[in-house]
Structure 1
Amino acid sequence: MDATPTPSAAPSDPAPAPAPGPPPFAPVRGPLFPTAPAGASRLRRIAVPAGVLAAVVGAFGYVATVDPNQPGHYPVCPLLRFTGVYCPGCGGLRSAHAFAHGDLASAFGANALAVAGYAVFAALWTVWLIREARGRPLRIAPRPVHWWAIGAVLLLFTVIRNLPFGAVLAP
């Protein structure tokens, strides 16, 4: 007799269902930066925000010392060099240099979007520091619509600053 099963004989166990959980590309909902344990001292909780601020102050200090208006200190923007089109970051170093020296009008003239970014950073960093000092981590979970809005603002800024009527936004 033949011992092979007949085609009508199917296994009685169905395939196991996938384990429940988040979809494969779900946004991560958690602290933006690692946080100290709940019982940690206030000094330990504010160490990461203080470190981030120290890095930003160091970067601004360097740009304040090494003038981007003098040629040869920083690389040229490749998009500007090869196409003649100002990118959203063009003028950012000159803006940071002027901002570090307290010249807000020149900073705004070099890159208005960068100055707005400095303000957004300052506000978010302050909220982050206060929340960490109180033992409540900052949670930022931008949705796709937020990323699209940021991209649209960057694109709009880039297009306007490269058109004749938007020359005031060009560095």
Structure 2
Amino acid sequence: MFIDPHSAHHFTLCPLSLAGIDWCPGCGLGRSMKLFAIGEFKASFQMHPLGAFAWVIIPYRIFDIIKQLKTRLNYG
């Protein structure tokens, strides 16, 4: 949430980008999510079409993993 989605240069851990390959199916997803969070829906979709969908999937997976840990390890 602290990234500037409009900057030309950004920090990346993408192995394809670091190898000099321009196309990556996941690049732009974080910036797309940021744009969606601040209400720039059209720009978000143009950056990466699955940015809004990620806002549904990621929290679901976090709560699902927590639920699995609680039942397996008897935390609650």
Q: TM-score, normalised by structure 2?
A: 0.55
Distance of 1:77 and 1:109 partners within structure 2: 20
The answer to whether the 8 A contact 1:95-1:106 is kept is yes
Distance of 2:16 and 2:58 partners within structure 1: 26
Aligned ranges for residues 150-169 of structure 1 at < 5 Å?
none
> What residue is the counterpart of 1:111 in the other structure?
48
Are residues 1:84 and 2:22 paired?
yes
Distance 1:76 1:121, change over 3 A: closer
Distance of 2:26 and 2:41 partners within structure 1: 17
Bigger relative CO (Cα 8 Å, ≥ 6 apart): 1
The number of aligned residues is 65
The answer to whether the 8 A contact 2:28-2:47 is kept is yes
Unaligned runs of 5+ in 1: 1-59, 129-136, 141-171
* Superposition deviation, residue 72 in structure 1: 3.5
1:97-146 C-alpha deviation (Å, 9 max, x unpaired): 21121112221221122321211234x27xx4xxxxxxxx7238xxxxxx
The answer to whether the 8 A contact 1:89-1:114 is kept is no
Query: Which structure's CA Rg is the greater one?
Result: 1
Q: Which amino acid in structure 1 is aligned with residue 21 of structure 2?
A: T
Q: Identity over aligned residues, as a percent?
A: 26
Distance of 2:12 and 2:5 partners within structure 1: 10
> What residue is the counterpart of 2:73 in the other structure?
none
Unaligned runs of 5+ in 2: 70-76
Distance of 1:75 and 1:139 partners within structure 2: 31
